[in-house]
Structure 1
Amino acid sequence: MSGTAGTAQAQPQAAASLYAPSSLVLAVGQGEEADTAIMQRAVTLTCTPKASGSHPSASAACAELRAVNGEFTQLVGKSPGMMCTKEWKPIVVTVDGVWQGKRVAWNKTFGNSCEMRASIAGGAALAF
């Protein structure tokens, strides 16, 4: 017998993920509560393995989120010198998804769109 025994070739297995996923949906809506707000716009943001999504400044937004370790409350503050009316026309910003492998569900209600812009002025993550 001159035949050689066939050797089964091992199929390469898919490489295990080397990073925790970071993929978010950010939205802005008119209303007081995230559950009942009328959504006006939404974007997607993926930060791992690279910045991508429909967010207009994905790279800058991901860098900003990494700097605060995904703590969205740290992205909201007051912009000095920006004045807004006291009109009550609430806007709610929501973030849902996964940040570095952990589930995220965050929202913040502002009195009006001016207050929202003043609170996120200079930041990329919530400016879309």
Structure 2
Amino acid sequence: MTHISWKAVRAGLLAALVLLACAAPARAGGGHSGEDSWLMLTVTPGETPSTGENGTMLRCDPPRGHRHATDACAELTAADGRIADIPPREGVVCPMIYAPVTAHADGMWRGRPIDYTETFPNTCTMTARTGSIFTIA
């Protein structure tokens, strides 16, 4: 019969706790988790934003839920979550066809609420102005 002292059991448990604490991943982005960087995105034909729940959920850290999530999250990171501050794409020439679309984003960026709505003359202009954010179709 093997005897294990309480001192040995405590030392083993302490070592296990230290290993678990060291193995836990560090949070990136200044202590903000990806769960507080998410946007519900909708693009609606016309000049009225969508009031429904149908849209695309973009999550960052890691990028997911959107067909261009990596690019969209990078653009949001560069603009600190401010969609209006995303620089327009250079060299894009859009047709002068009026087919309005309304882009809407609602969510959180690094703990800060985001509520963005803008109507563009057409989808080309929307994409040229907002990058990959609203390329959800």
Give the TM-score normalised by the residue count of structure 1. Answer: 0.67
Q: What does residue 25 of structure 1 align with?
A: 40
Distance change >3 Å, CA 67–CA 31, structure 1 → 2: same
1:107 and 2:83 aligned = no
| Offset, 1:75 | 2.3
SS in 1 for 2:125: helix
Note closer, same or farther for the CA distance 1:117–1:58 as it changes in structure 2 (3 Å cut): closer
Contact kept? 2:44, 2:50, Cα under 8 Å: no
Match of 1:126 in 2: 134
Offset at 1:77?
A: 2.8
Superimposed CA distance per residue, residues 64-115 of structure 1 (whole angstroms, 9 cap, x where no aligned partner)? 111110010022636435131242x310000001111111110110112333
Write out per-residue CA displacement over residues 8-61 of structure 1, whole angstroms, 9 at most, x where no aligned residue. xxxxxxxxx85251111111001213257x99x72111113x2222x0021221
For structure 2, the residue ranges without an aligned partner over 5 or more in a row are: 1-26
Q: Which has the higher helix share?
A: 2
SS at 2:124 equivalent: helix
1-structure distance, mates of 2:89, 2:69: 23
For the 8 Å contact 1:95–1:104, the answer to whether it is kept is yes
Question: Do structure 1's residue 42 and structure 2's residue 50 form an aligned pair?
Answer: no
**Do 1:79 and 1:119's aligned partners in 2 also have CA atoms closer than 8 Å?**
no
Give the AA of the match of 1:110.
F
- Count, aligned residues: 107
Residue 96 of structure 1, aligned match among 91, 95, 106: 106
Contact map agreement 1:92 1:110 (CA 8 A) in 2 = yes
TM-score (norm 2): 0.63
- Could you say what the CA RMSD is over the residues aligned between the two structures, in angstroms? 2.9
1:61 corresponds to which residue? 72
> Which protein has the bigger strand share?
1
